[in-house]
Amino acid sequence: MSVQSTLDIKELNERIRLESSFVDIINMEMGKVIVGQKHLVESLLVGLLADGHILLEGVPGLAKTLAINTLANTINVKFNRIQFTPDLLPADLIGTLMYSPKSEQFNVKKGPIFSNFILADEINRAPAKVQSALLEVMQERQVTIGDESFKIDEPFLVLATQNPIEQEGTYPLPEAQIDRFMLKVKIDYPKLEEERLIMRENLAMQFPKVDKVINPSDILKARRVVREVYMDEKIEKYILDIVFATRFPAQYNLPRFEPMISYGASPRATINLGLASKAYAFIKRRGYVIPEDVRAICHDVLRHRIGLTYEAEAENITSEDIITDILNTIEVP
Amino acid sequence: MKLKQYAFIALSFLPLSIIAQVEPIEIKAALSNDTILIGDRVEFTIRAAGKGKFSVFLPELYDTIPGGLYLMGKPTVDSSFKNDVSSFTFKLPVTAFNEGIFSVNNFEVLVRYSGSIDTLRVTSNSVVVMLVPHDSTLNDIKDIKPPIKEPVRFSEVAPWAGLGLLLVALAVLLYMYLRSRKQHKPFLNLFKPKDPPHVIALRELRALEEQKVWASSNNKLYYTKLIDILRNYLEGRFEISAPEQTTSEILSEIERLDFDFSLYIDTLRDLLYTSDLVKFAKHTASIEENHRFLKFAIDFVNGTKPVDYSANDEIQNLEPNKPVKPDSPDSLTNKPK
């Protein structure tokens, strides 16, 4: 039994080595355009492989849109960018029925959501009804226009951006809807050397183009392999401990967080943390998950799923701090 | 009680020169009742009447009057002069607080007429003062109610209970102390200094070796125990939170430490990665490999323990700060003599 299992893992490792070869190619292509931002690129790949939508947050000018554009360009998929504005309507997103005087019939006019990759730029600028329409498509993967329902083509990935500093005229995403994003990736400023390179390239008007190096079928195939990545019981317990620590911190020797957390991570967080860890192991060319994979992706999966109380805000405690402390407290298997 | 202000009564109806002759004055004194209960009020009346004009007044009166009766209030006086007859009536409320027969004897009354004053003494009838009789109808008389019993509250008991527990604890401690003294053993394990991390680690590694877990097929259990021992040792010895860190985090943390790990780092890395494979990827390591890592773990602990402990260690004697080579023959087999 044990020998058989070991053989399975070895075989899986081999398969993953073969299947994940495109990861390096995508990384290479993205590296042509995106300087630095390694974590961002990794997170995009995790979302792509784990079939999870991503919310990117960062101040303007950090190449959020460029990164998503570049990723879409490396894959031979249909890509649409939707700029969310306060006057956007759900029909502008999902489409509508148009009357054709010629045929005297209503025809379906599909909206930009019918695409493989959607860049929902500044998602918090649109009112709740538009956000709701988008998030419904994200969850259901189908759109109903009139009496007809349409399946969205796979792979379907929504990459939304939101700007944390401009609060004027924005509609913050409700907690229930933000939970539908598998990852919330925070983007930080590039390092000094990276920024020097960005400046030089821009001043020299050198804007490298990326090639389409992978097909949607490869992504779908890779997604199936990702789900096969082996996760030991010890890792499962580790994930559960982390998630439960966000709900009952006192039970995990973190009583100081008890009054600071209004609600902990949902079961969807547990599922997503497991799946994202497998995807991370995949991009690291491994057929099994190790605690490092969980820790590497934990902040992105949990940061938007922990509700903070006023007490936490008063003490300047962020969900990042809570996750970091949880990771530093729970014993690694 | 001094009743001077009320005692003097003077009446003068005509100038003294008019009084030519004095008729006899009749004075009578009487108590209003002949039988009273203790404390009951009885009226002592003095009546004086006679022809002509004269005045009668009482001497200074205090709490009691002659005869043992107690004065209860102010005396009142009623006087009149009619048909050439003067009359005075004094009423004094009195009582007795003792059982017996009382009468007013030789009570002095002052009479003034024709510019001279005479003292007259009067005696009253007797009054019998009796005790209050027992009321035989009050058969259901009840005793005074005792104080109402309130339930005992915890706050009242707690200090005493605490004190009791403290005394018990002190008694137990005293007993333990005396027993340990008799047996020449350390008093309390609580006060015993904790073993240094390397002693704990070596003890646990020795136990792991003796239990032959390394030779069993349960690789996962063996590597979990082995890595846990090393993680706890690293935490205790170098103050790095190794139990909460992953393999790569431990390795990078070790590289940052100001300690020469050059002899161990490669094998340690190998051990940590192998344990990850065993624990998380169903990898099966050979018995030789397991034994080699156990041997290495002991060498690692011996070679990285603090200098002060090198001379007296139970596993082997080492020169200060001189790491033991992982493959040295005395590393595992060198048992305490």
One DSSP character per residue, B199-258 reads: HHHHHHHHHHHHTTGGGSS-HHHHHHHHHHHHHHHHHHHH---GGGS-HHHHHHHHHHSS
* B99 at A interface, C-beta within 8 A: no
Q: How far apart are CA B274 and CA B92, in angstroms?
A: 122
Q: How far apart are CA A67 and CA A75, in angstroms?
A: 13
The mean pLDDT of A313-321, rounded to a whole number, is: 89
Across the interface, whether the CB atoms of A8 and B282 are under 8 A apart is answered: yes
* Burial group, residue B172, by CB count within 10 angstroms (0-12, 13-18, 19+): exposed
Assign 3-class secondary structure to chain A.
CHHHHHHHHHHHHHHHHHHCHHHHHHHHHHHHHCCCCHHHHHHHHHHHHHCCCEEEECCCCCCHHHHHHHHHHHECCCEEEEECCCCCCHHHHHEEEEEECCCCEEEEEECCCCCCEEEEECHHHCCHHHHHHHHHHHHHCEEEECCEEEECCCCCEEEEEECCCCCCCCCCCCHHHHCCCCEEEECCCCCHHHHHHHHHHHHCCCCCCCCCCECHHHHHHHHHHHHHCECCHHHHHHHHHHHHHHHCHHHHCCHHHCCCEEECCCHHHHHHHHHHHHHHHHHCCCCECCHHHHHHHHHHHHCCCCEECHHHHHCCCCHHHHHHHHHHHCCCC
> For the domain bounded by A229-329, which CATH number is listed?
1.10.8.80
* Burial group, residue B156, by CB count within 10 angstroms (0-12, 13-18, 19+): exposed
The mean pLDDT of A105-122, rounded to a whole number, is: 87
* Burial group, residue A208, by CB count within 10 angstroms (0-12, 13-18, 19+): exposed
Q: For residue A293, what is the nearest residue in chain B, using CA coordinates?
A: B246
Contacts of B106 (CB under 8 A, 6+ apart): B66, B121, B122, B123
Chain A: give the shortest CA distance to residue B321, in Å: 31
pLDDT of residue B3: 43
Chain B: give the shortest CA distance to residue A20, in Å: 18
pLDDT of residue B309: 56
Chain A: give the shortest CA distance to residue B294, in Å: 19
* B232 at A interface, C-beta within 8 A: no
pLDDT tens across A133-189, in order? 888 888 888 888 888 888 888 888 888 888 776 666 778 887 777 888 999 998 888
pLDDT of residue B189: 62
Contacts of A287 in chain B (CB under 8 A): 281
Task: Tell me the average pLDDT of chain A.
Answer: 85
Chain B: give the shortest CA distance to residue A231, in Å: 7
Q: How far apart are CA B165 and CA B177, in angstroms?
A: 18
* B241 at A interface, C-beta within 8 A: yes
* A4 at B interface, C-beta within 8 A: no
Across the interface, whether the CB atoms of A329 and B243 are under 8 A apart is answered: no
Residues 247-266 of chain B whose Cβ lies under 8 A from any Cβ of chain A: 247-249
Q: For residues A212 and A299, which has the higher predicted lDDT (pLDDT)?
A: A299
Domain with CATH 2.60.40.10 in chain B: 4-130
Q: Which amino acid, one-letter code, is at B43?
A: E
Across the interface, whether the CB atoms of B282 and A6 are under 8 A apart is answered: yes
User: Cα A110 to the chain's mean position, in Å?
Assistant: 25
Instruction: Name which of B241, B244, B280 is nearest A289 (Cβ-Cβ).
Output: B280
Instruction: Name which of A3, A327, A333 is nearest B279 (Cβ-Cβ).
Output: A333
For chain A, the straight-line distance linking the first and the last C-alpha, in angstroms and rounded, comes to: 23
From the list A283, A223, A258, A261, the residue with the least C-alpha distance to A26 is A283
Cβ count within 10 A of residue B85? 13
* B47 at A interface, C-beta within 8 A: no
| Residue B78 token pair | 């009623």
Contacts of B104 (CB under 8 A, 6+ apart): B29, B31, B44, B65, B66, B67, B69, B94, B122, B123, B124
Describe the strand order of the beta sheet including B35-37 as a list of residue ranges. Answer: B35-37, B126-130, B100-103
Task: Tell me the average pLDDT of chain B.
Answer: 80
pLDDT of residue B34: 92
pLDDT tens across B105-155, in order? 889 898 888 778 888 889 999 999 998 887 777 667 778 888 888 888 888
Q: With respect to CATH, is domain A2-217 assigned 3.40.640.10?
A: no
- pLDDT-based confidence at B191, cuts 50/70/90? low
* A290 at B interface, C-beta within 8 A: yes
- pLDDT-based confidence at A6, cuts 50/70/90? low
pLDDT of residue B1: 42
Q: Which of A2-11, B47-56, B132-141 has the highest mean pLDDT?
A: B47-56
Instruction: Name which of A234, A290, A329 is nearest B244 (Cβ-Cβ).
Output: A329
Contacts of A271 (CB under 8 A, 6+ apart): none
Per-domain residue ranges of chain A: 2-217, 229-329
- pLDDT-based confidence at B190, cuts 50/70/90? low
Residue A137 φ then ψ, to 5°: -65, -40
pLDDT tens across A249-308, in order? 988 888 888 899 998 999 999 999 999 999 999 988 888 899 999 999 999 999 999 998
Q: For residue B224, what is the nearest residue in chain A, using CA coordinates?
A: A333
| Residue A309 token pair | 């109380």
Q: How far apart are CA B224 and CA B270, in angstroms?
A: 15
- pLDDT-based confidence at A9, cuts 50/70/90? confident
> For the domain bounded by B4-130, which CATH number is listed?
2.60.40.10
pLDDT of residue B128: 94
Contacts of A293 in chain B (CB under 8 A): none
